[in-house]
């Protein structure tokens, strides 16, 4: 089926990850037309770029639209980016350094392209499309391989002069704890992340703790949460520790930024209630202890992101459309 006669402009949002690229095709009213998930080929910088081009072309072909109908492409990319120049300064997992992504894509597709940090695009996606109370003060916390928080204050995304506002994962919670990829020890994301969950599980197995986790291969965060759901004591202890640490970190977010909503997204949150319950348990412990906590830590403030939407692709599509249509 072809829609080549349709005059309405379209936009594509792209969430670029180290393992998967997720796309979303929308019309001028931000209504979804088609979405796609494709594997990222990260064998070289060129292969990563080719994966993105292929995912965009496949999205259009599958939906029956022509490239000429697209008015803009938005991309959320991990790592350090110069959003104004459209250059990915450093994305280690994608093998990109000073990679002129938007210029290359504009040359290829003939339409304006806009890039930003994947976290920021997802935060804008949550603010625009997963915000039932319409609050103008929101935090989107992404928990996957690492951890980071995007902050919206009075309707505006908080970036900071160096683009590191909300790097919650690199708050030190255990000065003599596990080494973090950033070079110091005991960052929050060494505990609260998929890699943190796996590390804690491996340490328990190495200690000789009795747990079904030693029989799970591959040992992933998903496996840890599944084992906890089945009542494995070691897995329950790990899940509770992750939740308590995150609960304390989210208290810090509330105290520092005075947000009214906290949306939890990212791969680890797919464990659902199993993930959320220990976080709220920690807030309840704090509420029992302190009047200030009772006042500001309201359990209904914290929730899981809508699992049916890829917030990064939604945010990127909205940004692209707004940049070209005003």
67 in any annotated domain: yes
> Does 61 share its domain with 199?
no
Same domain, 79 and 115: yes
Contact of 254 with 301, CB cutoff 8 Å: yes
Q: Is residue 289 part of a domain?
A: yes
Asked whether residue 99 is domain-assigned, the answer is yes
Q: Which domain holds residue 295?
A: 131-304
- State whether the Cα torsion 277-199-194-83 is positive or negative: positive
Whole-Å CA distances, 203 to 152, 218, 235: 37, 15, 12
112 & 148 share domain: no
Q: What is the pLDDT along the chain (326 residues), one digit of tens a residue?
A: 455 545 679 999 999 998 899 999 999 999 999 999 999 999 999 999 999 999 999 999 999 999 999 999 999 999 889 999 999 999 988 989 999 999 999 999 999 999 999 999 999 999 999 999 999 999 999 999 899 999 999 999 999 888 888 899 999 999 999 999 889 999 999 999 999 999 999 999 999 999 999 999 899 999 999 999 999 999 999 999 999 999 999 999 999 999 999 999 998 999 999 999 999 999 999 999 999 999 999 999 999 999 999 999 999 999 999 999 87
Q: Are residues 109 and 211 in the same domain?
A: no
Answer yes or no: is 5 within a domain.
no
Strand 80-82 to 70-77 pairing: unpaired
Q: How far is Cα 131 from Cα 121, in angstroms, rounded to an integer?
A: 15
Polymer length of the chain: 326
Domain identity same for 276 and 152: yes
**4, part of any domain:** no
The token duo for 314 is 């939604």
Residue 1 is assigned to a structural domain of this protein: no
Residue 149: which of 157, 45, 296 has the closest Cα?
Answer: 157
Q: Do 94 and 227 lie in a common domain?
A: no
Which CATH number do you get for residue 230? 3.30.420.40
Evaluate whether 6 touches 16 at the Cβ level (below 8 Å): no
d(CA 138, CA 258): 9
Total structural domains in the chain?
Answer: 2
Residue 262 lies in a domain: yes
65 belongs to a structural domain: yes
């Amino acid at each position: 089926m072809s829609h080549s006669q349709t005059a309405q402009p379209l936009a594509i949002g792209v969430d670029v990850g180290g393992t998967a690229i997720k796309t979303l095709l929308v019309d001028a009213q931000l209504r979804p037309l088609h979405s796609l998930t494709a594997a990222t080929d990260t064998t070289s910088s060129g292969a990563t770029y080719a994966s993105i081009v292929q995912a965009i072309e496949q999205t259009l072909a599958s939906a029956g639209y022509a490239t000429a109908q697209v008015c803009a492409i938005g991309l959320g990319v991990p790592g350090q980016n110069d959003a104004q120049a459209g250059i990915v300064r450093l994305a280690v997992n994608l093998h990109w350094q000073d990679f002129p992504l938007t210029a290359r894509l504009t040359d290829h597709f003939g339409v304006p392209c806009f890039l930003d940090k994947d976290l920021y695009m997802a935060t804008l996606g949550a603010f625009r499309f997963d915000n039932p109370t319409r609050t103008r003060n929101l935090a989107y916390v992404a928990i996957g391989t690492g951890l980071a928080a995007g902050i919206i204050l009075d309707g505006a995304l908080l970036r900071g002069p160096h683009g590191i506002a909300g790097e919650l994962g690199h708050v030190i919670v255990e000065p003599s704890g596990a080494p973090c990829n950033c070079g110091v020890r005991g960052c929050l994301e060494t505990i609260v992340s998929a890699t943190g969950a796996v590390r804690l599980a491996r340490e328990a197995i190495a200690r000789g703790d009795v747990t079904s986790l030693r029989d799970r291969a591959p040992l992933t965060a998903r496996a840890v949460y599944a084992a906890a759901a089945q009542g494995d004591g070691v897995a329950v202890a790990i899940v509770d520790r992750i939740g308590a640490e995150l609960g304390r970190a989210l208290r810090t977010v509330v105290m520092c930024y005075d947000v009214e909503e906290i949306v939890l997204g990212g791969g680890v949150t797919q464990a659902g209630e199993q993930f959320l319950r220990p976080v709220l348990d920690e807030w309840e412990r704090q509420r029992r202890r302190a009047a200030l906590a009772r006042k500001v830590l309201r359990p209904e403030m914290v929730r899981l992101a809508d699992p049916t939407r890829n917030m990064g692709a939604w945010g990127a599509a909205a940004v692209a459309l707004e940049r070209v249509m005003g």
